[in-house]
C-alpha cells in the first residue's frame, strides 16, 4: 500500500506528529504542504494534518499572524515555509479527486475542550470527503501552549495511531509512495 503524510506546521509540533505517524505506518514520505503540491502520485492512503487556528483550519492570514506574533515574542523556532503557499486550505481545494483511495486527518490543538479550541481535523476530513476520499479516521494531538511543546506522550500516541491506520486498511503492509512492494 502506498501512503504519504502531508502537513502544515508553524512551530514544528504538527511536523513532529506527522513524522511520528509515518513511523507508525512503517515508513512513509512526510511532506510539508507547500512541497506536496509538486507530488501528484496516486496513493492508497493520504494522511493530512495541520494546526488548529481560530477554531478550525489555518488560513493564510492566521498563519502570517502566528508567525509575526511568535517573532515578536522571540520564539526560538518557526518552521521553514510556515507561511509559504499553498497552505493546507488551498492545497485541499485543488487536490484532484481520486488522488488516494483512503484518507485520514489529524490536527494539533491546545489541551482544552474541543468546544473551546475547535478541531482542524474535522475541516480537513470534510474537505477530503468533498474530494471523494474515504476518510477512515481523524485524531487530535495536544500541545501545552499555542507554540507548544507537545503534551507528554503525544509522539508515542501518534506512532500508535499510524500503526492503527495501517492495520485498518486491507493491505498488510504499507509501502512508502513511489516504492514498489
* Greatest alpha-carbon span in the chain: 48
**Cα 50 from Cα 90, distance rounded (Å):** 13
Fold for 2-176, please state it: Rossmann fold (3.40.50)
Q: pLDDT 10s per residue in the chain (181 long)?
A: 689 999 999 999 999 999 999 999 999 999 999 999 777 677 889 999 999 988 788 888 988 888 888 788 776 678 888 888 999 999 999 998 777 789 999 999 998 888 888 899 999 999 999 999 999 999 999 999 988 899 999 999 999 999 999 999 865 344 455 443 4
- Say what the pTM is: 0.89
* Stated length of the chain: 181
Tell me the pLDDT tens digit for each residue of 50-99. Answer: 999 887 888 889 888 888 887 887 766 788 888 889 999 999 999 987 77
**Cα 43 from Cα 87, distance rounded (Å):** 21
Q: What ranges do the domains of the chain cover?
A: 2-176
Amino acid at each position: 500500500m502506498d501512503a504519504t503524510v502531508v502537513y502544515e506546521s508553524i512551530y514544528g509540533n504538527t511536523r513532529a506528529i506527522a513524522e511520528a505517524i509515518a513511523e507508525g505506518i512503517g515508513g512513509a514520505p512526510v511532506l510539508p504542504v507547500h512541497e506536496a503540491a509538486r507530488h501528484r502520485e496516486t496513493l492508497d492512503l493520504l494522511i493530512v494534518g495541520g494546526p488548529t487556528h481560530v477554531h478550525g483550519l489555518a488560513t493564510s492570514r492566521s498563519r502570517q499572524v502566528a508567525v509575526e506574533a511568535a517573532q515578536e515574542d522571540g520564539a526560538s523556532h518557526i518552521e521553514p515555509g510556515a507561511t509559504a503557499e499553498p497552505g493546507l486550505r488551498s492545497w485541499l481545494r485543488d487536490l484532484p479527486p481520486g488522488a488516494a483511495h483512503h484518507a485520514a486527518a489529524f490536527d494539533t490543538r491546545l489541551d482544552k475542550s474541543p468546544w473551546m479550541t475547535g478541531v482542524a481535523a474535522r475541516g480537513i476530513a470534510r474537505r477530503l470527503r468533498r474530494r471523494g476520499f474515504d476518510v477512515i479516521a481523524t485524531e487530535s494531538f495536544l500541545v501545552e501552549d499555542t507554540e507548544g511543546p507537545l503534551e507528554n506522550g503525544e509522539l508515542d500516541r501518534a506512532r500508535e495511531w499510524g500503526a492503527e491506520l495501517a492495520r485498518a486498511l486491507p493491505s498488510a503492509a504499507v509501502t512508502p509512495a513511489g516504492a514498489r512492494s
